[in-house]
Amino acid sequence: MFRLIFLFVVLGAGLFAGTQYAGQQGYVLISVANKTIEMSVTTLVIFVIATLAVLFGLEFIIKRALRASSSTWNWFSVRKLKRSRRYTNEGIIKLLEGDWKAAEKKVTRWSNHHDMPLLCYLVASEAAQGMGDKQKRDHYLELASQQENSLLAVELTKAKQQVRESEFNLAFDTLTTLKNSYPNNSILLNLLKTVYIELKLWQPLLDLLPKLSKSKLIDSEELQILSQRGQCGLLSNVAQQQGSEGLVNHWNSLPKKVKTDLHLIECFAKQLMARKADSQAYTVVKEAIKKHPNSSLYNLLPEMNLSDSHPVVIMLEGCLKKDGNNAPAHSALAQFYMRDENWEQAQQHLEKALSVRSDVSDYAYLADCLEKQNLTRAAHEVSRKALTLASSS
């Protein structure tokens, strides 16, 4: 546009000058070496304008030719890009369908022409994982890691593959390198949860739970289950490393809210019993039963190795005076009577417990009591009930 305006300006100026100096064309002499060129001023002006017009025309033609060449090149590039994207999309579908070989073939065929080869290599790695070819899987992950901004996607893909292969120690190392840089990534948090559980890393799991809950990756029910599992696992670790004394110290250091959880009280008592601290376990269970008379903690009492079981019997009889339908208390008391071979009283308490709720163990204990009293027929009938209940459960 500028060149056209320039030509028009020059032509206008020439026309103006021509009308002003009509009949006074002037004289121009150009001497180069042994050659001379003579012409009028008007002829020179026309020659210059014509030369400029030719040069501008040549420039226009050359630019159009180059633009056409560039458009042709871009057309081929776009065509390759579209084809690569189409193959990649088809490869992803094949991956979801479980056709690993076809998925790998499609996503790698035109990956060099894709605008995001990272996606191609990650899909190919997943396909290789599906085929069980770890060498190819790692090769594609290596290619993916060479792409820009690939760290998070590659490492998360690697960690997911390691978890699927039960390579939890490797997954732990992979995720640990990402944890500080991406502390709120939901996929990372879920993978860490799985790895911590599998490796029995209970304290890291407990530290992770608030973040999982805040990110709404677990509901309140799962939060409680995982919290109980983590605390029980931690109790077991402390007991193994520090014995019953260290276990008691650890329990005393826990928040009051945690120590009111009946499931954790049961875990704590079982760990004490496993380390022959049954008297301490009895104290813990007795105090918990006072606050929660309908709990399942009664089942632990007959398992305790106590030097004198009389206080336990007195405590259970007191519980039954307050609530005659306390089936766990009836069952526990019956087992203590069985130790003393007081079969008749044991039978009465077991029958009362079973009238409140069905329990395979109580049926077995009742059959034993009846057998000891030579009530064979009744014992067989009770045994059949126990077998029926066990098979239906």
Cα-based distances in Å from 188 to 159, 175, 372: 9, 7, 60
pLDDT at 76: 44
How sure is the predictor about 97, in pLDDT bands with cuts at 50, 70 and 90? very high
Q: pTM for this one?
A: 0.73
Question: Exposed, middle or buried, 198 (CB in 10 Å: 0-12/13-18/19+)?
Answer: middle
- pLDDT-derived band at 268, boundaries 50, 70, 90: very high
Of the listed ranges 51-60, 125-134, 259-268, 363-372, the least confidently predicted one is 51-60
At 379 the pLDDT is 85
Q: Angle CA(159)–CA(160)–CA(161) in degrees, nearest 5? A: 90
pLDDT on residue 5: 67
Instruction: Read off the pLDDT of each residue in 316-320 and give the average, rounded to a whole number.
Output: 92
Residue 69 has pLDDT above 80, yes or no: no
Specify the pLDDT at position 14. 60
Whether the predicted pLDDT of 269 surpasses 60? yes
pLDDT at 75: 45
pLDDT score of 111: 74
- Specify the pLDDT at position 128: 93
- Mean pLDDT calculated for residue range 262-278: 94
Across 27-54, average pLDDT: 71
Distance in angstroms (rounded) separating the CA atoms of residues 384 and 393: 14
325 Cβ partners below 8 Å, 6+ apart? 356
Q: What is the mean pLDDT of residues 36-48?
A: 70
Which CATH number applies to 316-393: 3.90.70.10, 1.10.1740.10, 1.25.40.10, 3.40.800.10?
Answer: 1.25.40.10
Q: What is the DSSP letter of 147?
A: S
Query: What pLDDT does 27 receive?
Result: 64
- Can you tell me the distance from the alpha carbon of 189 to that of 158, in angstroms, rounded to the nearest whole number? 15
Per domain, the residue ranges of the chain are 2-78, 219-307, 316-393
Percent of the chain past pLDDT 90, that is, above it, reads 55
- Reported as a pLDDT band with limits 50, 70 and 90, residue 393 is low
